Amino acid sequence: MKDFLINLDRRFIFIFVAIGVILPALTTFPLPIKPTANVRAIYNTIEEVAAQNGTVLISFDYGPGSMPEIQPMTLSVLRHCFSKKVKVVGMCLWPQAVGLVQQALDTTSKEFDAQYGTDYVFLGYKTGMHSLVINMGRDFQGTYPQDLQGNNTADLAVTQRIFGLKDFDYVICLAAGNTPDGVWIPYGQERYKFKFGIGCTAVMAPDQFPYLQSGQMNGLMGGLAGAAEYEKLINTPGTATDGMRPQSVVHVIIILFILLGNTIYFLYDRKKGGAK
Amino acid sequence: MRYILLCLTLLFCMCPVQAQQPTQIQTMDTPNDAGGSITLTWNRADLPPKSVYKIAIGESPNGPFYLATELPTTANLMSDDPATFGHGDETAQTHFFNITEYQDTNNTEKPLKLETDKTYYVQITTQLPNGQMLPSNISPATAIQNLFNKTKINNFILGTVFSLIILIAIYMARRHEMYIRRIAGLEALDEALGRATEMGKPVFFAHGLHPMGSVSTIAAVNILSRIARRTAEFNTELKVANNDPIVMAVSREVVKESYLNAGRPDAYNDDMVFLAATEQFSYAAAVDGMMVRERPAANIMMGYFYAESLLLAETGANIGAIQIAGTDSYTQLPFFITTCDYTLMGEELYAASAYLSREPKLMGSLKGMDVGKAFLLLTLVLGTLLATMGNQTLAHIFTAY
Amino acid sequence: MTRDQIFFITSLFVFFVINIFLLATGSLSPDWAGLGTFIAAGITLSLYSFLYKDNPLFKFTENLYVGVAAAYTMNQVWYTVLLADVINPTFDLNGQTGGNHEWLLIFPVLLGLFMLTQLASDNISWLSRIAFAFVVGLGAGLAIPRTIAANVLAQMQPSMQPITADLAGFNLVVILVGVVTVLIYFFYSVEHTGAVGVASKVGIWFLMISFGASFGYTIMARLSLLIGRAGFLLEDWLNLQLPLF
Amino acid sequence: MLFLRRTLPLLIAFIVGTLGILIYYIPHTAAQDLEQELARWDRIIAAFAMLLGIYSLMSLHLNRVKRQQGGWGYSFLVFLGFGLMILFSLYNDGLGPFKPQVADSGPFVWMFDNVQVPADATMFSILAFFIASAAYRTFRARTPEAAILLVSAIIVMLGRVPIGVLISDWIPWFSQWLMAVPNLAAKRGILLGVSLGAIATSLRIIFGIERSYLGGGE
């Protein structure tokens, strides 16, 4: 039994994880999702923007590789904005985000009957990262003369009176990489002091806390849990809420694996002197 | 006795003073901007609630005046904008307003923007709730383009001082030897190479996925050259798996040179440094396959790794190899720490590279950064102590306005 | 026929049987969308075959994906930058630049073409160094003052707040100790012995807690990705109406 | 000729770098307009840099086929995928390459939705399996530091998922405290260190001390 446990074949564990993911997805059991303060801050800020029917800039910086975590955030934030008549300007710092955002805009705009040009505008992707933010910070319509479909941004109702980043009431960055702390804060928020909230993959979430405490960011949605909390706030459960069940179960499985692995290590393996 | 006198005087100035027009009016160009804006400051006065300040602006002293704005008497205190007006006590007692445009009554479709380098005349009137108007005298002002943003003075000084420290440190590093503390990771590296020689099994090396120009890959190649020297001396087999042709070419040069310096040119052949695969996962799978087949005694991973770090480290741990890793990719560090015997964390990778190569630019930078870290560290402690005792000046100096 | 080949063929056969069944029961529509879901499921399962062993099917799909992804990026670069920001403004192709032609754009385009010479033969590849010098030099210059503002000053000020005698004050003290000891750990001019040794030891504990947090969050992230793909396979491909029970 | 190869690039880096620094402190419109133009040039060159990345990927596979290095057969698939996608991109759902891109219909979008998205998403999700197997087989508390790391990871994982709440209300609170205090402190310490490092590297580039980014030998 001892040897079987120590050099358990990797593929046996793979099957175990697959079951841990599929079974909970097939069933449903209630799990309490309590929105934390950082997620609520984004929700409240959008409510404030809605009160003065302002405009929000959303920067989509992710790819299909992080879709399961970020796409639910995109859908929830868009649904929240469209339901409260908040005008949305979308742009991408990652090329692969264009296709995913286009899908999200098509589905959510139909749900809330949001009109292109008067309720939302999509600018697509441009290269340049920090240079793009410097350019659009000071001369928005010069940097984006046309949107993704070729309409002049000077003619569209949403972007007519937007001349720079300070004209946006709220800037949200939904990111899989370090565009929030590597591009948006040093090259945009630092100069124009706009309110800045982010949704990011769980991998990037721990790195954002210094910026939250310093006030450079005013809200954070971290990973699938963050998306599920936002879905709870706008009470339209989606893939994130459904995903929390398997997520919870698999977390427990991983924790048990770590504990089991280490107990075996301390009982048997260490004497074998695998490492010091 | 003195105490009563004090109460009397206090009592006296509490009684409602007869409201008068705004006092201490100053108009000037708005600082730290590209022109097109005039700043008006005036003393805060005790006025009955719902009274209003009206600011008017005109192009000639007695010409038509147009309304720029209407302000409640509680708004726009200087203390709201410490970046421009600082943190003095008086800022809570003075109002300010930046005039950038005004409404020309005859053509009313768009407000007129203030022009730069043109003199305007500004007047501020206190309008009491009963409609009584108390206008101030008129004072001229001209908006000009500023050449230096004074709110960034702390940024400018900190940047200049730190840059000088770095450049001087690099200059000194070229002149004479500099001390760096011993890097524990490098000792672990030598121990691992020693173990590999005893067991007569190969040593594996991987660079991560960054291209040759990246600081992390340069550090990885510096460390590789030391490993190659050791494997040459100990006559141990070295295998360097690459995923980038340029990095492979540079690594071949470095390994060949190390074997030459160790006096073992014959022991070197090009096959030791090879292209395993180009794509992230195929690269990890290829290297894992080789590790399982050849069971190296030591697996060394230096450079900027992405998600493939776990695939390499897990296989290495399972075949019982001693693993030394070093990466400045903070998302992958946890995986190395829990799977490897020793991990060089973040900047330690650069320190190891400097320690080995003794290059002036690396040594100088390291020493200069040490001075910078010491300065920041002391400022934080001092700043917190002063702030706790109520003195916020240090905290105000270190604020990003 | 090795064990692997048998396993490979049976799994391929099972995959087709399932799809025919889905097509028959109408949950896989016989149009472009249905074909798309079929191919997407095929790609997902062939990439998961890597878990069994690195095999030809995995390499086939991975390399196909690399080609498609490269072309997708090229498409975005062409339509949103080269066409929209270079060709249209220069040649007024879409007639939306009010007739004026921005000939000045020839300089960045030239520098861009210089950059492409890096892969050309040696006698002209030095041109790429001019382009790299411009991009890397400008990037370095723009970065310094903003790094000081956003990553040094803005991070110093919140750690210099007055310590109050409550939980918030306690947190501020812990944060101060953490920042100071981590900075000491990454200190190279002084040997890690004595007081500095103790401080760097405390620094490592803070580092380990923060790496533990990143480690936990990264595990959560990877699991969410797996849950997302399982959701695709179960709901979009197999068309199961969840929850079943 | 040596001036063009070595000195000119370093001169450009110095001029453009110092301008990049100084303009930050100068509000004057002349300086701000120059920064805008430099940033605009940088964006256009960045587009060519991405083409360079794609071009080098393709030439890498081309060389692999020419020299028939291991697995060269698979390189044809890279060309197949690339060629097909480029064709659909030029077709642009009927509008051709000189009209704005059609992002919501057409074969290009179909290929993105049904080939690139599933492949990219699956590729990253494979790691979940490896993490699970490593969790059992390799994540060991070999050293006290690794022990702290694993304990902190377990607390954070429990705190971020509803099951943590079910176990006890303290777990989510403590997990949030771990993130907002010790984790913040360490990340801020690292951030300050990394920022000083980034400034030092940028200085070396501007003053021509660091030249490796130029590449291509001497």
Residue matched to tokens 């060629």:
D83
Q: Where are the alpha helices (DSSP H) in C3-101?
A: 3-24, 32-48, 56-77, 88-91
Mind listing the pLDDT tens digit for each residue in B161-218? 999 999 999 999 999 888 888 888 888 898 889 888 898 899 999 998 888 777 888 8
Mind telling me how many Å the CA of C77 is from chain D's nearest CA? 6
What pLDDT sits at residue A270?
Answer: 62
User: Class of A37-239 per CATH?
Assistant: alpha beta
> Which residue in chain B is spatially nearest to C180 when comparing CA positions?
B377
What DSSP string runs through chain D?
-HIIIIIHHHHHHHHHHHHHHHHTT---HHHHHHHHHHHHHHHHHHHHHHHHHHHHHHHHHHHHHHTT-TTGGGHHHHHHHHHHHHHHHHHGGGT-TTS----SSSHHHHHIIIIIHHHHHHHHHHHHHHHHHHHHHT----SHHHHHHHHHHHHHHHHTSHHHHHH-THHHHHHHHHIIIIIHHHHHHHHHHHHHHHHHHHHHHHTTS--GGG-S--
User: What is the enclosing helix (H) or strand (E) of B6?
Assistant: helix B2-14
Mind telling me how many Å the CA of C89 is from chain B's nearest CA? 28
**B286 contacts B315 by C-beta, under 8 angstroms:** no
Q: Residue C159 — φ and ψ, nearest 5°?
A: -100, 15
When CB atoms are compared, the residue of C68, C148, C210 closest to D116 is C68
Q: What number is the average pLDDT over the span A207-220?
A: 94
Residue type (1 letter), A183: V
Mind telling me how many Å the CA of D137 is from chain B's nearest CA? 8
How sure is the predictor about D215, in pLDDT bands with cuts at 50, 70 and 90? low
> Which residue in chain B is spatially nearest to D196 when comparing CA positions?
B369
D196 in B contact zone (CB under 8 Å): yes
**Does residue B17 carry a pLDDT above 70?**
no
D13 is a domain residue: yes
How sure is the predictor about A274, in pLDDT bands with cuts at 50, 70 and 90? very low
How sure is the predictor about B3, in pLDDT bands with cuts at 50, 70 and 90? low
Q: Are strands B322-327 and B298-304 parallel, antiparallel or unpaired?
A: parallel
Positive/negative CA dihedral, D122, D126, D127, D129 = positive
> Which residue in chain C is spatially nearest to A203 when comparing CA positions?
C218
What pLDDT sits at residue C56?
Answer: 86
**A65 contacts A84 by C-beta, under 8 angstroms:** no
Cα separation, C55 vs C51, whole angstroms: 10
Three-class DSSP category at B72? strand
Nearest to C111 by CA among C130, C89, C83, C85: C130
**Where do the domains of chain B lie?**
22-145, 178-358
D72 is a domain residue: no
ipTM for this prediction = 0.89
Residue matched to tokens 């009397």:
B8
* Residues of chain D with C-beta less than 8 angstroms from the C-beta of B146: 27-28
Q: Are strands B52-58 and B298-304 parallel, antiparallel or unpaired?
A: unpaired
Give A121's strand partners.
Answer: A89
Q: Are strands B273-275 and B139-142 parallel, antiparallel or unpaired?
A: unpaired
D217 is a domain residue: no
Cα separation, C91 vs D179, whole angstroms: 54
> Which residue in chain C is spatially nearest to A228 when comparing CA positions?
C224
What pLDDT sits at residue A269?
Answer: 65
B331 to C214: CB separation less than 8 angstroms, yes or no: yes
**Does residue B9 carry a pLDDT above 70?**
no
Cα separation, B397 vs B387, whole angstroms: 12
D117 to A99: CB separation less than 8 angstroms, yes or no: yes
What pLDDT sits at residue B18?
Answer: 60
* Residues of chain B with C-beta less than 8 angstroms from the C-beta of D14: none
Give B325's strand partners.
Answer: B301, B343
For A270, residues 6+ apart whose C-beta sits below 8 A from its C-beta are none
C129 to D9: CB separation less than 8 angstroms, yes or no: yes
What pLDDT sits at residue B11?
Answer: 52
**Does residue B7 carry a pLDDT above 70?**
no
Structural domain for D147, as ranges: 141-207
D192 to B376: CB separation less than 8 angstroms, yes or no: yes
C150 in B contact zone (CB under 8 Å): yes
**Does residue B296 carry a pLDDT above 50?**
yes
Mind telling me how many Å the CA of D37 is from chain A's nearest CA? 8
Topology of domain B22-145, CATH: Immunoglobulin-like (2.60.40)
B339 to D215: CB separation less than 8 angstroms, yes or no: no
C151 to A186: CB separation less than 8 angstroms, yes or no: yes
Q: Tell me which of 1.10.3470, 3.40.50, 3.30.70, 1.10.10 is the CATH number of domain B178-358.
A: 3.40.50
A145 to C96: CB separation less than 8 angstroms, yes or no: yes
Cα separation, A243 vs C228, whole angstroms: 7
Interface test with D, best of C210, C211, C214 (most D CBs within 10 A): C210
Q: What is the mean pLDDT of chain C?
A: 89
What pLDDT sits at residue B15?
Answer: 47
Give A125's strand partners.
Answer: A92
Most confident of the ranges A206-210, B18-22, C24-28: A206-210
Mind telling me how many Å the CA of A73 is from chain D's nearest CA? 17
B341 to A275: CB separation less than 8 angstroms, yes or no: yes
Residue type (1 letter), D163: I
Q: What number is the average pLDDT over the span A16-20?
A: 90
Calculate what percentage of chain C has a pLDDT beyond 90: 56
D206 to C75: CB separation less than 8 angstroms, yes or no: no
Q: Is the peptide bond before D162 cis (omega within 30 degrees of 0)?
A: no
> Which chains contact D through at least 3 pairs of Cβ atoms less than 8 Å apart?
A, B, C
> Which residue in chain C is spatially nearest to D135 when comparing CA positions?
C219
How sure is the predictor about B4, in pLDDT bands with cuts at 50, 70 and 90? low
**C188 contacts B370 by C-beta, under 8 angstroms:** yes
A225 in C contact zone (CB under 8 Å): yes
What pLDDT sits at residue D109?
Answer: 92
**Does residue A7 carry a pLDDT above 80?**
no
Mind listing the pLDDT tens digit for each residue in B68-115? 888 888 878 888 888 888 888 888 888 888 888 888 777 667 788 888
> Which residue in chain D is spatially nearest to A147 when comparing CA positions?
D100
Q: What number is the average pLDDT over the span C130-144?
A: 93
What DSSP string runs through chain A?
-HHHHHT--HHHHHHHHHHHHHHHHHS---------HHHHHHHHHHHHHHHTT-EEEEEEE--GGGHHHHHHHHHHHHHHHHHTT-EEEEEESSTTHHHHHHHHHHHHHHHHTPPBTTTEEEEEE-S-THHHHHHHHH-HHHH-SB-TTS-BTTTSTTTTT--SGGG-SEEEEEESSSHIIIIIIIIIIHHH---EEEEE-TTTGGGGHHHHHHTS--EEEEHHHHHHHHHHHTT---HHHHHHHHHHHHHHHHHHHHHHHHHHIIIIIHHHTS--
D145 is a domain residue: yes
For D108, residues 6+ apart whose C-beta sits below 8 A from its C-beta are C75, D85, D88, D89, D91, D92, D93, D101, D102
What pLDDT sits at residue A212?
Answer: 94
Nearest to A195 by CA among A46, A37, A53, A36: A46
A69 to C224: CB separation less than 8 angstroms, yes or no: yes
What pLDDT sits at residue B2?
Answer: 53
The half-sphere exposure of D27 on its side-chain side, counting CA atoms within 13 A, is 18
What pLDDT sits at residue B307?
Answer: 84
When CB atoms are compared, the residue of C145, C172, C186 closest to B373 is C186
**Does residue A206 carry a pLDDT above 90?**
yes
Kindly report which listed range (A136-145, A261-270, B333-342) carries the lowest average pLDDT score. Answer: A261-270
Chain C residues 112-131 within an 8 A CB cutoff of chain A: none
A190 to B331: CB separation less than 8 angstroms, yes or no: no
Q: What is the mean pLDDT of chain B?
A: 86
Q: What number is the average pLDDT over the span C170-185?
A: 95
* End position of a domain, from candidates D50, D67, D84: D67
B374 in C contact zone (CB under 8 Å): yes
> Which residue in chain D is spatially nearest to A32 when comparing CA positions?
D162
**A149 contacts D100 by C-beta, under 8 angstroms:** yes
Mind listing the pLDDT tens digit for each residue in B325-336? 999 888 889 999
How sure is the predictor about A271, in pLDDT bands with cuts at 50, 70 and 90? low
What is the tally of structural domains in chain D?
2
**Where do the domains of chain A lie?**
2-27+246-275, 37-239
* End position of a domain, from candidates D18, D35, D67: D67
Size of interface A-C (CB pairs under 8 A): 150
> Which chains contact A through at least 3 pairs of Cβ atoms less than 8 Å apart?
B, C, D
Mind listing the pLDDT tens digit for each residue in D85-130? 999 999 988 888 888 888 888 899 999 999 999 999 998 898 889 8
Q: Where are the alpha helices (DSSP H) in B45-152?
A: 82-85
A190 to B400: CB separation less than 8 angstroms, yes or no: yes
Interface test with C, best of D52, D115, D179 (most C CBs within 10 A): D115
C232 to D118: CB separation less than 8 angstroms, yes or no: yes
Q: What is the 3-state secondary structure (H, E, C) of B364-391?
A: HHHHHHHHHHHHHHHHHHHHHHHHHCCC
Residue matched to tokens 């602006």:
B57
pTM as predicted: 0.90
Cα separation, C15 vs A63, whole angstroms: 28
**Cα angle value C163/C149/A206 (rounded, 5°):** 65
* End position of a domain, from candidates D47, D67, D87: D67
Cα separation, B371 vs C190, whole angstroms: 11
For D197, residues 6+ apart whose C-beta sits below 8 A from its C-beta are B347, B350, B365, B369
Mind listing the pLDDT tens digit for each residue in C58-92? 889 988 998 999 999 999 999 988 998 888 888 87
Mind telling me how many Å the CA of A207 is from chain D's nearest CA? 6
